[in-house]
Amino acid sequence: MSSLQPVRGTHDLLPDDSRRHRRVEETAFDVVRRYGFGEVVTPIFEFTEVFSRTLGDTSDVVTKEMYSFTDRGGESITLRPEGTAGVARAFISGGLAQSLPLKLFYRGPMFRYERPQKGRQRQFHQVGVELLGVEGPQADIEVIAMGLQVLEELGLKGQVQLELNSLGDVESRAAYRDALVAYLSGHKDKLSKDSLDRLERNPLRVLDSKDEGDKAVVADAPLLVDYLNETSRSFFETVKAGLTSVGVPFVHNPKLVRGLDYYSHTAFEFTTTALGSQGTVLAGGRYDGLIGQMGGPATPGIGWAAGVERLAMLLGEVPDSQRPLAVIPMGEAGAAQALVLTQQLRRAGFAVELGYSGNMKKRMIRANKANARAALILGEDELARGAVALRDLDSGEQREVPLAGIEEQLAEFR
C-alpha cells in the first residue's frame, strides 16, 4: 500500500492548492515583467558538476541533499536544488555575454533531500530573478525593491521584514575571513564536527550552523561589517540610501552572511514571523564571482529566489479569477441545447460549468459550490420561445434573455 502514497517530502497540488501556487507565480511574473524581466526555462536536471562547482563540494546541499544519479550513458546527473546555477550555465553555454545586461525570471520545481517541515518539502517550487551584467548598486536597489513589490502585490505588506547586510568585496572578505578563523580557532573545543570541517574549508559557513553549541560561539564572533574597506562601505551606503529613497524599509542584520566565495556586497532576506522557524520567504544577494568560477567570462550578477509553498501558505483562500456561468438544462430538449450553448459560450471567452446529471435543486447546489456568477436555466417553455432564464446568483434576480446574441446579454458576467 505504501507504493500508492506520495513519496515522503512530496505532495499533490489539488485545485485549491494549485490556485494559491498559480497566484504566487503569476503575481511574481506580472511584477517582474514591469521591470523588464523575461522568463527563462532551464532543464529540471543538469550535469552534477553544474551544482558541485557552484555550491561547493563542502556545502550541505552538495554533500547531503542533492538528488544525483548516473544515467544510462554513464553521466552523473542531478535534479536541480536551486535555480541560479542553471541560469548561469545557460548564460555560458548560450554565449550570451554579448546580450548584457540580462534580466531573467524563472519558476518551477527544485529538489533537496532534507527533513520535511512546514513549508519545506523535498520537491518544492521557487520563483526567482537574475540580473546579469550590472556592476553598480542601482541593480541591487532595483532587484530588492522588485522583491518587495511582489510580496506587497500578494497582499503581504506589513507581514514581512527586509534584513540587509554587506558581504564586502574580495579584499574585505579576505580580511574578515582571517579574523573569523583566528576567533573560531580559539574555540575549537566548543565547535561541532561539521563546523570544525568548515573551519578548514569555508569558515563563513560556521556562521550559518544550526548547532546550539556553535550558535553560542558565533554569538561573540567578529562582524563582517567591521572589516569592510572604503569601497565596500561606499557601495553599501549607496544601496541603503537608494532603498530609503524608493520607500523600501529595512533593518541592518550584521550577522546575515552567505558562505560561498562568489557572493559579494549585498545580501538580503525578507522574513516573516507567521510561519514559525521557516521564516524566510524571499532571499538573495550579489554574486559577482559565480559565472567566472563556472568557467565563463567575469560577469556581475544579483538575484533572489522565493519559496512558492511558503508564500502560498500566507495567502489563505484564493478564489478562481473568473467565476463561471452554470448552465442548467431541464428535460431532453434542454440537455441537447445545453451542449451547444456551453461550447458557444466557452468559445466566446466565458467559463461555463455544465452539470452532467441531477434535478434542478442538485444542479443549483453544484452551481453555488462552484461559486457561479449566474445560472442559465434551459426550460422547455423558454426554449420554445428561443430564450433561456438568466438568474443572477448574487442578487437572486431572474429574467428571460433571447438565445440570439446571448453573448452580449451576458457581457456583465464575463
pLDDT band at 199 (very low <50, low <70, confident <90, very high): confident
Query: Does residue 162 form part of some domain?
Result: yes
The number of residues in the chain equals: 414
Instruction: Looking at the structure, tell me whether residues 310 and 329 fall in a common domain.
Output: no
In a domain, 241, yes or no: yes
Distance separating alpha carbons of residues 233 and 230, to the nearest angstrom: 5
Cα(285)–Cα(266) distance, integer angstroms: 5
Q: What is the mean pLDDT of the chain?
A: 90
207 in a structural domain: no
In a domain, 205, yes or no: no
Domain with 142 in it: what CATH number? 3.30.930.10
Residue 145 lies in a domain: yes
Q: Are residues 107 and 248 in the same domain?
A: yes
User: How confident is the model at residue 263, as a pLDDT?
Assistant: 87
Residue 79 β-bridge partners = 45
Asked whether the beta carbons of 390 and 374 are under 8 A apart, the reply is yes
Going from the C-alpha of 391 to that of each of 205, 229, 230, 333, the distances in angstroms are 64, 71, 71, 20
Adjacent-strand bridge partners of 126: 108, 307
Cα–Cα distance, 215 to 201 (Å, whole number): 19
Shared-domain flag, residues 69 and 7 = yes
pLDDT in tens, 294-349: 999 999 999 999 999 999 999 877 777 788 999 999 888 788 899 999 999 999 99
On whether both 72 and 116 belong to a single domain, the answer is yes
What range does the domain containing 346 cover? Answer: 325-413
The structural domain count of the chain equals 2
Residue 62 shares a structural domain with residue 145: yes
Report residue 56's pLDDT band, with 50, 70 and 90 as the boundaries: low
Q: Is the bond into 249 cis (omega within 30 degrees of 0)?
A: no
Last residue of a domain, one of 284, 315, 346: 315
128 and 255 in one domain? yes
Q: What is the CATH number of the domain that holds 399?
A: 3.40.50.800
pLDDT greater than 50 at residue 1: no
The region, left, alpha or beta by phi > 0 then psi within -120 to 50, assigned to residue 133 is left
> 344 and 297 in one domain?
no
Residue 364: the pLDDT is: 84
348 and 237 belong to one structural domain: no
Same domain membership, residue 250 and residue 102: yes
Residue 250, domain member (yes or no): yes
- Of 264, 284, 315, which residue sits at a domain end? 315
Residue identified by cell 464575463 is: 414
pLDDT band at 58 (very low <50, low <70, confident <90, very high): low
Nearest partner of 132 among 301, 303, 304, 262, judged by Cα: 301
Instruction: Report angle CA 143, 204, 276 to the nearest 5 degrees.
Output: 65
Q: Do residues 302 and 329 share a domain?
A: no
Average pLDDT over residues 389-412: 91
* Distance of alpha carbon 108 from alpha carbon 125, whole angstroms: 5
How far is residue 31's CA from residue 174's CA, in Å, rounded to a whole number?
37
Q: What is the pLDDT of residues 263-272, one digit of tens each?
A: 899 999 999 9
Question: What residue type is 166 in one-letter code?
Answer: S
Q: Do 371 and 261 share a structural domain?
A: no
In a shared domain, residues 238 and 337 = no
Give the domain-ending residue among 315, 340, 358.
Answer: 315
Query: Which three three-digit cell numbers place residue 121?
Result: 518539502
